[in-house]
Structure 1
Amino acid sequence: MNHDWKKISDDNAGRVSYCGNKDNNCTLRITDLREEDSTSYYFSFATWDYRKDGSSISLTVTDVVLEMEPPSVSEGNRVTLTCTTKCSLDPNPEYSWYKNGQPIENTNTNSTVHILAVSSEDAGRYSCGVKGHETLLSPEKTLNVTYAPKSTSVSISPSGEIVEGSSVSLTCSSDANPPVDKHTWYKKTVTSPKASG
């Protein structure tokens, strides 16, 4: 069989490649997508005496873009999210905001959102879209929030009274980003550390 992807490939050299097996797989790959790639696509196959057009599929390429400044921030600092589009929509489009794929409730519909005092709970994947066109969301941007250790606790094993000469394990745990890689242990009323690591 012959497939009619050749015309598309000739017009878009380097971005379009045929990945099928010329038998029962007619896969076409388009890389570096552009707005002008938005259209309906179909394939035709032919033998020496027969030609058949396949059903068409529609591809829509959005230019909705999310900018995040800065993408990594310490807890308590400020982050600005800006959503832009060049689509010829309403003169003053309203925007929808998403975190980890879910709509963010009670967020303004402006093109810019400021998180004035970032907390660890604000970390995650953000995207945006134009209201009324929510199927066309921006690619996600990840906000990384760094913060000092908190919720620090110590556990002991075994617990209760311990026989002299036996062993005991003390475990310190905390929530931090980046994670704590070194702890220093002190004995109460003794100023010098007992151990670290």
Structure 2
Amino acid sequence: RVYSLSAPVDLLFLSSTAPHNWGVTFKSQCALKGTSVVIECQYSYPLLHYVLSVSWSKGKGESDRRQLLPLFDRSDHFTYVGNYKSDCSLQIKNVQVRDEGYYFFSFVTTLNTWSSETSARLSVKELAAVVQPSTVTEGGEVNLSCVSGCPTPGLLVWFRDGRLVKNTVFQARREDAGRYRCAVLGQNAAPSASVVLNVQYGPEKVSLSMSPPRDVVKGGPVTFTCSSDARPPVEGGGYGLYKDGHLVSSEQSHSISEVQPAHSGRYHCQARNGVSRRGSSSPEVPLHVQYPPENVSISVDPDPDAGGSRVNLICSSAANPAADTYTWYRRATPNGTTLQVGSGQVLSIASVEAAHAGLYLCRARSRLGENNSTELLLAVEHGV
């Protein structure tokens, strides 16, 4: 229905104090989108007139009354808050951009009809949040300002990700990063568009992980992966993997398809992102490559230079974990049978005799496997 109000009989007023001329005066308004505004209006008419009805309409020009659009009552969007005496104010709730324009007032009395020759202009603006700078290094100063486009919008409040912000000037912390909005106090339902604040900081919580994390066996794969907490995030080239202080890789992830004992050592990761030139390092991660006994060998102590002397045969090997079982074998020459003659890392012969001569072999074993030494010839001289 057209927004036009007729005064009931018991509310009609005789304007005894009104001037003897017709007139309507307005006060133009500037409103923020989403808020409510009252277009203040006063009207007058000669004596002996009763006001019967009032109406508001909207036009495209300040005094252009062509193609005026009557205001419709849309869910209380427009509300007449004036009276039938002298106040013709109009309230507009939840103001939108489409409400911007020129508003005209008309009224009907018992003797005449009057329409305003001029209009009240309603300007609709939006709050604009400004965060300076929008990208800052942790510890740098940030200034928040809110541009309304309307004069004296009232007390402004700020929100970060929906939470109230107390200070508009502050030293940036990483937890200050987020989406900022400003609003007029009491009109939080009509905030500005959000503006993002990015807070940059150097790498922290740098860590190095290894997969598998333990029991890395020779010949198997192993992968090192660096990670950190940083803004902006550390890119691949910003990582460095070091072994015993020597650079191994400049990628975030480094894989060894067939790990060898020589890869054993202490590894750490270093991260840089341009905010911190020195970068940060992770704790060291030890790599112990496990492998079965290899390079098994036999040594003699002392050299058997005469019969009847004591001889110790010592078996040694490289292994991780160390060999836990040693077994000794002797093969008489030539083409004799092989016999097990002892166990333990040291085979002691208290008094070397001709019967002890032969080829000796040591077998070292761990939980990962076993391996044999080369044969060692023990010759015994006669006649001593």
Normalising by structure 1, we get a TM-score of 0.61
Specify every segment of 5 or more residues in structure 2 that has no aligned partner in the other structure, as ranges: 1-173, 175-201, 345-384
- Aligned-residue offset at 1:140: 1.1
Report the AA paired with residue 70 of structure 1: P
Q: Do the aligned partners of residues 162 and 134 (structure 1) sit closer, same or farther apart at CA in structure 2, a change above 3 Å counting?
A: farther
- Aligned-residue offset at 1:166: 2.8
Q: Secondary structure at the match of 2:229?
A: coil
Q: Do the aligned partners of residues 134 and 79 (structure 1) sit closer, same or farther apart at CA in structure 2, a change above 3 Å counting?
A: farther
In the alignment of these two chains, the number of paired residues is 135
1:145 aligns with 2:317: no
Q: 1:179 aligns with which of 293, 302, 322?
A: 322
Per-residue CA distance 1:120-150 (angstroms, 9 max, x = gap): 0111111111246554101111112101112
CA distance in 2 between counterparts of 1:152 and 1:77 reads 22
**Any conservation in 1 of the 2:203–2:229 contact (CA below 8 Å)?**
no
Report the AA paired with residue 328 of structure 2: W
Q: Do the aligned partners of residues 115 and 135 (structure 1) sit closer, same or farther apart at CA in structure 2, a change above 3 Å counting?
A: same
Q: Secondary structure at the match of 1:121?
A: helix
Aligned to 2:221: 78
Q: Do the aligned partners of residues 84 and 76 (structure 1) sit closer, same or farther apart at CA in structure 2, a change above 3 Å counting?
A: same
1:118-129 to 2 correspondences below 5 Å: 118-129=259-270
- Aligned-residue offset at 1:160: 4.3
Higher strand share: 2
Specify every segment of 5 or more residues in structure 1 that has no aligned partner in the other structure, as ranges: 1-35, 37-59
Relative contact order (alpha carbons < 8 A, sep ≥ 6): 1 or 2 greater?
1
Aligned to 1:159: 303
Q: Secondary structure at the match of 2:306?
A: coil
Per-residue CA distance 1:47-98 (angstroms, 9 max, x = gap): xxxxxxxxxxxxx982111110113311010001010112113563421111
1:111 aligns with 2:111: no
Report the AA paired with residue 221 of structure 2: R
**Any conservation in 1 of the 2:243–2:267 contact (CA below 8 Å)?**
yes
Coordinate RMSD, CA, aligned: 2.3
CA distance in 1 between counterparts of 2:278 and 2:242 reads 10
CA distance in 1 between counterparts of 2:246 and 2:241 reads 6
Q: Secondary structure at the match of 1:65?
A: strand
